Structure 1
């Protein structure tokens, strides 16, 4: 594991490498019911009381798409200057979810509802940076796992886990950028400005409160480095579920320094998922 003391300075990292970012932002839509069933999305209910055969994935239960969720997705797509698909479909995203009772996520893959857009974001000094949007697609959220018996509240060291499926099936929009290049030393600042502008846009549309501290909006920060003058992207890491504007910027900055330290010492970057620690501003595998 790279520690803070292993990092190269930010200035040295940018002297040798150009950062490339990709940002994936998940937004919980403020609909009254879930994406594919009539269960309530209201917060604060007792665990597993807002569930039904559809969101529990019971055999024979058939989903029906939430019309308001589709309308919200189109509003977001239009606000992001996207093309809106005249026809799209859902797909099964198959991999193990301990907190998704169906064991797959109903999402969109090759035919999203909105694609090929952009968002112009304004930096603190007034400079405008255009972030290209690859896609915005509809999907559903997972349930909530609570890990019990450990010191950190995370799965490592826990004796058992509790599952609450009230959130399973809540409508999500995932907004995925195209690779963000050319930001140089301002890449972490661009990441923060983009998520800030996106949050304000989502709130202005009235489709979500986008409260990051409550998980209603969260960002995955993908980052890689290219040696100066190269034209091939490096191996990326993905820092998952970053839940504040400050943390988005700090996570990008830390990963730039960590990648540079590994590459400068002759090592190779492992493509992996990482977790951001708020208290130290660092990431771990």
Structure 2
């Protein structure tokens, strides 16, 4: 994209990327949506655009919805579990509680259970506080219908989202303890950091060998983790999707681990090993509201 520094598209690019990423769960697809949206913006009659921000958000939402409907069909053929693409983020994202929660792996996986229109409506209303009238224009539904969709989506998300907010310091401490236990491979240490009903979900995309379905229960998860080749394991605590998480290397193969906590224990483990989803762990993503 070649744009002037003061072009509204440049000014709002972080916002537009965040909208697309939250609707799609994929940074690569979000970038494609921004490219398509830029082409439409470049060809627009700017004299008829009263609010550039609203216009651009509407354009990005429409393009993201089109792509999401296509991707939904592709994901039916995905090998194993599909997880969102993890992003390296800065501490600034964590300071915005609403933004950090909205891009967390836990929330993004909940959003995957919504239909495309429901997801777009929820993201625009609950995260970005877009007026119902503007959302209606973006999703092609009457404002009254959008209100109903928003109410239904809120209820759906509320029933599935993590109920307890965890401080970043507590999250960081548990991630460090988890990595220490992973490096020792001791079952007792692994069991100590996990809730009895912990669930581990892994995404290898059929490229890297991982469990094809969720593993449930502390004993079962610990036994799988204890088989990791510790001599070839490298790890570091990093900030992913607005929270402390782990970046791993298994014998040179990259990986990313995000943890969901409840009562000081790990309740859910998200492991991304699909290399196509691990290309954005060197430079922080620009996420903003």
- Global fold match (TM > 0.5): no
TM-score by length of 1: 0.25
Structure 1 or 2: more helix by fraction:
2
TM-score by length of 2: 0.25
Structure 1 or 2: more strand by fraction:
1
